[in-house]
Amino acid sequence: MALQRDGRERRHQPARQGWSLRNYMALFMVVLLGVAGLAAFAVRTMAEMDAQQTAMADANFAAKTAATEIATDFTLLEKTTDQLAANPTVAAVLSRAGSCGLTFTPGAFSKGHLDIISSDGSVRCSSQPLPKGPVYGLSDWLPVAMQSRTTVAPFLDPVSGEISAVVASPVGAGLGIVAAIVTLAPLGPSLAASLGGARHLEFLVTTKDSRTVLTRSIASARWVGADLAGTPFARSGGGVERPDVDGTDRLYAQVPVASTAWIVFAGADKAAALAAADQLSNRSIAIIVGGVAIMLLVTSVVYRRIAEPVRRLSLVMRGSTAGDAVKAVGPTGAAEVTNLAWDFDRLMATVKHELADRLTKEQKALVSERNYRQLFESHPQPMWLYDVHTLCFLKVNDAAVERYGYSREEFLAMTIRDIRPPQDLPKFLELIATAQPQLDKTGPWRHLLKDGSTVQVLITSHSTTFDDHEARLVLAEDLTESQQLELELHQSQARAEANAELSKAKDEMVSMVSHEMRTPLASIVGFAELLVTRKVTPAQRAEYLGVMLQEGRRLTALINDFLDLRRIEGGHLTMRFAPADIQALIKRGVALVADPAGIPIQIRVPSNMPLVRIDGDAIFRVVANLLSNARKYSPHGGEIVVGAAVVADMVEVYVQDQGLGIPADALSQVFRRFFRVDNPDRNGIKGTGLGLSICKNIVEAHGGTIGVESDGLGKGARFHFTVPLARETARTGDVLVLEDDSGFAHLLQAELTGLGLSSTWAADAETAERLMIKKSARAVVLDLLLPGLQGEAFLHRLRIKHGAEIPVVVVTLKDLDPAESLVLYKAGVTAILRKGPGMAETAARMIAKSLTAESQAAELVTG
Amino acid sequence: MRTRTPPGLQVLRTVVIADDESSMRLLVHATIESDDYCVVEAADGAEAWAMVQQHRPALVLLDVQMPGRSGLEVLRLIKADPSLAATRVILLTAKAQETDIESGLIAGADFYLTKPFSPLDLLTRVEEALQL
């Protein structure tokens, strides 16, 4: 069942293993954004690298070109000075004073002048106005230049006042020199103008040792001739990427100038290169972002067209009724979704139809249930439900409240015993103690109303369950006059029918019994006649008399059994049920049939057997009968086992032997009257053929069953019967009646009930002890002569276990001598009464009085 | 099988007593004890029929209600056997109804006695049957 339900639920609620479309969309977007981010990053990185590489290439190219240009320029200058120095005119100019003129085109150098300088340092001829005096006399390069061609830089030209470079060639032998003096400062900007372009290139030309600036493209005036030491450029030590003298990061390429051994640095502005790259990458990123935005837009549109309608459709399916589906999805969804919605709507329409149908049915069921309830609640006759175990009212209808006078609350606090007059209680309890049929009609009963009056009612009841209670529904019908007449008529008819049946059965019985009696009677009469009419030997006489005695006894047993059976079958033997200890009863039965010569009978009864509700005398008879049969039909000995066990709500008692057994065809007949198994192996075994029939009747009167199993002749037999467990009643008895005479016990109980005292009866001391443990009665009526444990012993144990306070009244047939009486009085017995007429009433009054005194004493103590 | 007459007197006629109650066999046996015939006892119908076939008795005293074969069955067997035409049968019955008596007589019994019976009466009937 559980499995099935699980399966059904699984069908209704599919395991959410997959992602929702929304999740997939989200994941898609995340991936998209991630890829876009990565792409942007890659674009930027690549653009930067590209920009740096381009910048480096530019720088390299620029540096090389610059170096070549400088070298070319200087070569040109050298050629110019060499040619001029070799010109005889120059030597003439130097050797004799006179005027001369020179023209000089500085080429790459924007400014400069060509001079013919004498050995003392004075300018003899110049491309510009002549300065006065030996202006170059102090220049340290002059002596060197007198010897060979020399290139010197930097050098502060005293004529122009600018940092300059000098290319000087000697003229003749010590006559003087031809010197081209060019200003260095414009070189840098000139290089930048022709090579730098828009590349943000910085040109820096230094001396061979990279310590002194010869020219620079940026702020050349400031840096020409300056010492590099201390600048960020020098500090960085070298490498491609280094700051320039101002601290701006640049990418440098360096190339030496071929003729002068100067070094040309071309530095690309890194920031500018990167800025360009950034610009580029920014554009790319802008494109990516645009693409992503378009993708998101597309996704969102798709989502809105598919996922959103599906979600809404799902919501509609979960929570809404038919018809909303299409409205919820609308005409905006994708065609497939819209179709799905339409399909769903059609499905929902069908479901709605079905649902409406079912609702109508449920409503009908509700109405029907209400109608049924009204059948109970508004039934004109009193009705109620009660729990069959506790006897408590579970539900009463209005008519019951009105008729009986109790309020609903009062009813629900009562048991069904409380509406019976006390004198009817025993009969009532007997009725409910027996297993009631499914549907039962009983009555007339007398019921007590709240005002104390009684009414005659017919009870119709049937078993049912109510709120997990095992219950009976009861309809109490007032007995009208005509009904009463009808009932009486019916009863008399039933009686007549029963009588007819009974008389037929009686005839049959009479015929059978007369037949069974004839054999022993024939022996007795026959032998008696022989003894009277013949002369017999003493041995014969003894033999005949022995047979007569035996047959006479047999006849007596037969008559007794027969009468018992008649009583039981005719319903004249009233069973008086009381709680009883089955173990004690079985032990007494075993003691009765015990044979010191034979194998002891085994008793197998669990120690914790619950009490049974039986007529102790009757069931004792059954046990004794089965045990004596087991003994009788085990002529060769063999183990006999008697045991008991709880089976469902009954106790099963069994007697197992290993004797002669019963053939299969006879098993079903052994409980019939006068049936005896026909087999030579049991010819010598006497029996009336009534014992098992009596047993069957007794057991059935207890609501139990009796049966037998046997594997066949010589294989033994197992007889078993069941008796009901004693039910826990809602109220415990005030008084425990320990009395083995069921008739007197009944009388006592009736008297106690009349005095408003409830009572529990036990037919033996063993049962009484167990009842005391369970219920602890407030007083005890005690018989002394008991089966099993005797009254005195019980009293002794009672005082030990339950103290001296419980009042005990002894009612007995036993003749007590003064000493015995004294012992009893010492044990706290209130009174010792001799069993006889009227004594039940006396005993009950004494008990009531002692209990009143006790409660008054208790009140005094508490007061 | 139990016999009270001494063996060796097989020439004597035999009387078979068939009853499942030992007390009844004892009573009948004690009643009809005689030197003129030999008495044998059977405890049920089957044994009775076996003894009838063995001893070919002059008289059979049959209890009607016996385990195994009933007295009436044994009676029918005797009457059906032509070689037992001389065998007389007296029924002993605890049943006293007319129908029982009729069925017993129709089956061919020579006489019947209802329990309890008078031993002297029984003896008279036995002597009559044996024509002593």
pLDDT band at A528 (very low <50, low <70, confident <90, very high): very high
pLDDT tens-digit series, residues A68-87:
888 888 888 888 888 888 88
CA B92 to chain centre: 8
**pLDDT-based confidence at residue A37 (cuts at 50, 70, 90):** confident
Cα A199 to Cα A194: distance, rounded to the nearest angstrom: 11
Inform me whether the pLDDT recorded for A330 exceeds 90. no
pLDDT, position A10: 44
Q: Inter-chain contact A524–B116, Cβ cutoff 8 Å?
A: yes
Q: How confident is the prediction for chain A on average, in pLDDT? A: 81
- Among B residues 61-80, those touching chain A with beta carbons less than 8 Å apart: 65, 67-68
The whole-angstrom distance between B119's CA and the closest CA on chain A is 6
Q: What is the pLDDT of residues A387-402, one digit of tens each?
A: 888 888 888 888 888 8
Of A511, A518, A530, the CB nearest to B115: A518
Query: Residue A731: pLDDT above 50?
Result: no
Instruction: Provide the pLDDT for residue B49.
Output: 93
Q: Do B23 and A530 touch (CB under 8 A)?
A: no
Q: Which residue has the higher pLDDT, A607 or A706?
A: A706
- Most confident by average pLDDT, A6-15, A452-461, A782-791: A782-791
Q: Do A523 and B67 touch (CB under 8 A)?
A: no
Question: Residues A661-673: what's their mean pLDDT?
Answer: 86
Output the 3-class SS for A189-204.
HHHHHHHHHHHCEEEE
Q: What angle do CA A583, A589, A590 make, to 5 degrees?
A: 90
Q: How many CB atoms lie within 10 A of CB B30?
A: 20
User: A667 with A718: CB under 8 angstroms?
Assistant: no
Confidence of residue A98 (pLDDT cuts 50, 70, 90): low
pLDDT digit string, tens, across residues A243-288: 888 888 888 888 888 777 788 888 888 888 788 788 888 888 888 8
Q: What is the mean pLDDT of residues A553-575?
A: 79
pLDDT at A324: 52
Measured between CB atoms, which of A530, A547, A683 is closest to B23? Answer: A547
B27/A551 touch (CB, cutoff 8 Å), yes or no: no
- Residue A466 token pair: 């109510």
- Give me the residue from B44, B68, B120 closest to A529, CB to CB: B120
Residue A863 clears pLDDT 70, i.e. is over it: no
Q: What pLDDT is attached to residue A140?
A: 80
pLDDT of residue A652: 93
Residue A362 pLDDT more than 90?
no
pLDDT exceeds cutoff 60 at A35: yes
- Residue A623 is predicted with a pLDDT of 93
Query: Nearest by CB to B27, which of A511, A518, A527?
Result: A527
Q: How many CB pairs under 8 A join A and B?
A: 71
First and final CA of chain B: distance in angstroms?
25
Closest Cβ–Cβ partner in A511, A515, A523 for B27: A523
Whole-angstrom Cα distance, residue A156 to residue A140?
11
* DSSP three-state, residue A357: helix
A1, pLDDT greater than 50:
no
Per CB-CB distance under 8 Å, the chain B contacts of A678 are: 67-68
Give the DSSP letter string of A39-57.
HHHHHHHHHHHHHHHHHHH
Would the CB atoms of A520 and B23 count as touching at under 8 Å? yes
How many angstroms separate the CA atoms of B9 and A527, rounded? 28
Residue that is written with structure tokens 């990458």 in the block? A281
Query: Taking the CA atoms of chain B, what radius of gyration do you get in angstroms?
Result: 13
Q: What's the confidence (pLDDT) of residue B59?
A: 93
| A516 near B CB under 8 A | yes
**In the predicted structure, residue A3 carries a pLDDT above the cut 70:** no
Q: How confident is the model at residue A859 (pLDDT cuts 50, 70, 90)?
A: low
Mutation target for B interface from A512, A513, A515: give the one with most B CBs within 10 A. Answer: A515
Residue to test with chain B: of A516, A523, A534, most B Cβ within 10 A? A523
CA A64, distance to chain mean position in Å, is 85
Burial of A115 (C-beta count, 10 Å sphere; 0-12/13-18/19+): buried
The CA distance from A635 to the nearest CA of chain B, in Å, is: 18
More confident residue, A721 or A59: A721
Residue A425 burial by CB count (10 A; 0-12/13-18/19+): exposed, middle or buried? middle
Residue A373 confidence (pLDDT) above 50: yes
Confidence of residue A527 (pLDDT cuts 50, 70, 90): very high
- Please give the Cα distance from A77 to A80 (Å, whole number): 5
Take residue A299 and report the two structure tokens written for it. 């996704």
Hey, is A601 helix, strand or coil?
Answer: coil
Helix, strand, or coil (residue A559): helix
Give the per-residue pLDDT at A319: 65
CA–centroid distance for A843 within its chain: 62
Residue A273 burial by CB count (10 A; 0-12/13-18/19+): exposed, middle or buried?
A: buried
Q: Which residue has the higher pLDDT, A346 or A315?
A: A346
Of A850, A804, A810, A812, the C-alpha closest to A832 is A810
Considering only CB atoms, which chain A residues are within 8 Å of B23?
Answer: 519-520, 523, 547, 550-551
Mean pLDDT of all residues in B93-107: 66
Model confidence at A323: pLDDT above 60: no
Residue A168 CA to residue A152 CA, distance in Å, equals 8
Cβ-nearest to B119 among A526, A547, A684: A526
Amino acid letter at A314? S
Chain A residues close to B114, C-beta within 8 Å: 518
For the record, the structure tokens of A602 come out as 């085994």
Q: What pLDDT is recorded for position A238?
A: 74
Residues of B in contact with A527 (CB under 8 A): 27, 30
| pLDDT greater than 90 at residue A154 | no
Distance CA B24, CA B18 (A): 9
Strands of the B111-114 sheet, one edge to the other: B37-42, B13-18, B59-63, B88-93, B111-114
Nearest to A523 among B24, B95, B118 (CB): B24
What is the model's pLDDT at position A626?
Answer: 93
B24 interfaces chain A, CB cutoff of 8 Å: yes
Q: Is B95 on the interface with A (CB under 8 A)?
A: yes
Find the range with the poorest average confidence among A29-33, A302-306, A378-382, A809-813.
A302-306
State whether A518 and B68 contact (CB < 8 Å).
Answer: no
SS3 A848: helix
Provide the pLDDT confidence category of residue A320 given band limits of 50, 70 and 90: low
| Residue range A832-854: mean pLDDT, rounded | 84
Q: Which amino acid is at A753?
A: T
Quote the CA–CA distance of A457 and A449 in Å, as a whole number.
12
Mean pLDDT along residues A297-308:
80
Do A519 and B21 make contact, defined as CB atoms within 8 angstroms? yes
pLDDT, residue A654, reads 95
A126-144 residue pLDDT tens = 888 878 777 887 778 888 8
CA distance A693 to chain B (A): 20
pLDDT over 50 (residue A456):
yes
* B52 pLDDT above the threshold of 90: yes
Out of A529, A543, A684, whose CB is closest to B119?
A529
Lowest-confidence region among A147-156, A200-209, A767-776, A831-840: A767-776
Question: Which segment of A185-189, A620-624, A833-837 scores lowest on mean pLDDT?
Answer: A185-189
Which positions ≥6 away from A841 have C-beta within 8 Å?
A751
Q: Do the Cβ atoms of A522 and B115 come within 8 Å?
A: yes
Instruction: Answer whether residue A643 shows pLDDT above 90.
Output: yes
Q: Could you tell me if A320 lies within 8 Å of chain B, comparing CB atoms?
A: no
User: Once rounded to an integer, what is the mean pLDDT over residues B17-30?
Assistant: 89
Q: What is the mean pLDDT of residues A682-692?
A: 75
Contact check, Cβ <8 Å, B68/A678: yes
pLDDT (mean) for A112-116? 84
The verdict on a CB contact (< 8 Å) between B116 and A544 is no
Q: Give me the pLDDT at residue A760, please.
A: 83
**How does residue A2 score in pLDDT terms, banded at 50, 70 and 90?**
very low
Q: How many CB atoms lie within 10 A of CB A341?
A: 24
Q: For residue A516, is pLDDT > 80?
A: no
Residue B60 has pLDDT above 90, yes or no: yes
Mean pLDDT of A759-781: 82
How are strands ordered across the β-sheet holding A201-206? Answer: A213-216, A201-206, A263-269, A249-256, A241-243
The residues that bridge with A760 in the sheet, in sequence order, are A736
- What is the spatial distance between Cα A251 and Cα A146, in angstroms, rounded to a whole number? 42
B61 vs B113: CA distance, rounded Å: 10
Tell me the pLDDT of chain B averaged across its residues. 82
Give the closest of B21, B22, B116 to A525, CB-based: B116
